[in-house]
Amino acid sequence: MNTMNYKGYAARIEFDERDDIFVGHIVGIHDIVGFHADTVKELHAAFAEAVDDYIETCERIGREPQKPASGKLMLRVQPEVHAAALRAAALAGKSLNQWAAKIIKEAAQA
């Protein structure tokens, strides 16, 4: 998957063979924000412009721009998985939150 990041927002990028353009959409928010360009360089500029315009539009209409993630994550797992994670965190000398954040970050970058 091809992605771009700007000001905490991420976009998924695809190539539209029919129109011979790159098309992007911001992911992780409910609002629909898209952009397109002919070249990669123009695509970077179009993405930044789309994010900036989204933020400015939200401010103008008095609404908070949606953020891709709050940083709070609640998981429900089997008690055995919870216990195993607690042990692994303790063995690593970390809190469960610190340990889980590290593991999730590593898995997401894979």
Nearest-10 crossing angle of helices 79-91, 96-109: 100
How many other β-carbons are positioned within 10 Å of the β-carbon of residue 55?
14
The separation between CA 80 and the C-alpha centre of its own chain, rounded to angstroms, equals 30
Q: Mean pLDDT for each consecutive 10-residue tract of the chain (110 residues)?
A: 88 95 94 96 97 97 89 90 95 94 88
CA separation for the pair 5, 3 (Å, rounded):
7
Neighbours of 85 (CB within 10 A): 16
Residue-level pLDDT at 69: 77
Domain range summary for the chain, segments of one domain joined by +: 2-60, 79-109
Contact assessment for residue 86 and residue 96, using Cβ atoms and an 8 Å cutoff: yes
Separation between Cα atoms, residue 3 and residue 61, nearest integer Å: 29
- pLDDT given for residue 1 in this prediction: 57
